[in-house]
Amino acid sequence: MSDDGRTLLVSSTEQLWKSSTRRSFLKMLGVGGTIVLAPALFEACDGYSPATAPGMGGGGSASLNLSDDIGILNYAYALEQLEAAFYTAVVASAAFGSLNADQQEVMSDLRSHEVIHREFLKAALGQKAIGTLAFSTTAVASTLTSGAVILKNAEAFEDLGVSAYNGAGKYLKSADYLTLAGKIVSVEARHAAAIRDIRDAAGVTGGTAAGTRFAGDDVVASSGATAGLDVKLEPSSVLGRVGSTGLLTTMVTIGASPSGSATPDAGPPSPTP
């Protein structure tokens, strides 16, 4: 794909916000090209998630064929790997101890749920599963510097997860897979509301009125034709946000676009976790 001029390499967080890159990004989406989300930091794999799958040495890459259900499920698997790695790191972090008992219970439970989602998708996909994604130690550590930073990143991860499942469900061709995705996304939404409620109680009010952050106006549309509807993002938008975090050292690419019509994005406010 690199020699036909339809591959865009995004290699740093800053690059994603440059207007020239954004233009290319949008152009790529228009022609169904490949967007390569390179990590901001190319580092050796760390202890959070060693690259073990074939073809995954160092940071490696994973291509998602979103034109079929297996590709969509692998997209979910990639996101669940990210969430599971984050919460596994959270409960092992120094800052975890600074959270109160309520918050620690939530973090530990979310760790369990996300690890279950990851392991379930991996087992269910079997030989069709993409490899284990590798993470940047430095970037992961930057998400764990304090209790407040952990909670902020957790909110971003959960809202991104809700956006991703809500945006991808329409591309699934199997009713069984759609039901499975539905079983997971409502749990992600419960998580998002819990984290948001914790931050609400801690005085975080950006974009929301006090006491309403669990389903705040920053994520549930409050006006227009979609009032009352939650966030949704197309897969390319989700992977763009993931890539811009620099958390992954594995390049996750879209090898084939979803078959079906994209809808306008309505993403959560924060551009990156």
Partner 1 sequence: MEQTQTILGTIEPDITKRLVSRREAILKGAAIGSSVAAGLAMMSAPIALAALSREAFGQGTPLSVQQVIDFALKLEIFENEFYKAVLGISSVAAQNTAFAAVRAMVPAAAIPAIQQIQKHEVEHVAFLMANGAVNSLNLNGSSFDFTGGRGTGTGPFAQATVDVNFLLLVAQGAEDTGVRAYKGQAPNLMTNPAVLEAALRIHSVEARHASKIRRLRRMTGASNIKYSGTITGGGAAAAGAGNISNPSAGAVTALGMIYAGEDNVMQGGLDVTQLPNLPSGIDKTAAATEAFDEPLSAAAVVAIVQPFFIPSLS
Q: Which is nearer to partner 1, 18 or 27 (CB)?
A: 27
Out of 149, 178, 202, 204, name the contact with partner 1 by CB under 8 A: 178
Under 8 Å between Cβ of 134 and 68: no
| Binding positions for partner 1, 202-241, rule CB under 8 A | 209-212, 214-216, 220, 222, 225-232
Residue 97 pairs in a beta bridge with none
Out of 15, 166, 236, 244, name the contact with partner 1 by CB under 8 A: 166
Out of 25, 82, 111, 139, name the contact with partner 1 by CB under 8 A: 111
Q: Which is nearer to partner 1, 17 or 42 (CB)?
A: 42
Phi and psi (nearest 5°) for 40?
A: -70, -30
Which residues does 178 contact at the CB level (< 8 Å), separation at least 6? 169, 172
Out of 11, 21, 61, 205, name the contact with partner 1 by CB under 8 A: 61
Out of 167, 240, 267, 273, name the contact with partner 1 by CB under 8 A: 167
**Among 231, 248, 253, which residue's Cα sits nearest to residue 159?**
231
- Chain centre distance of CA 191: 14
- Judged by DSSP in three states, 9 sits in strand
Can residue 180 be called a binding residue for partner 1 (CB under 8 A)? yes
Q: Which is nearer to partner 1, 204 or 256 (CB)?
A: 256
Out of 32, 102, 138, 141, name the contact with partner 1 by CB under 8 A: 102
Q: What is each CA distance from 80 to 28, 69, 115, 225, in whole angstroms?
A: 26, 16, 8, 31
| Binding positions for partner 1, 135-154, rule CB under 8 A | none
Sheet holding 7-10, edge to edge: 7-10, 34-37, 251-256, 61-65
| Binding positions for partner 1, 65-94, rule CB under 8 A | 65, 68-71, 73, 88
**Among 7, 2, 17, which residue's Cα sits nearest to residue 244?**
17
Distance in Å, CB of 256 to partner 1, minimum: 8
Q: Which is nearer to partner 1, 44 or 209 (CB)?
A: 209
Q: Which is nearer to partner 1, 36 or 144 (CB)?
A: 36
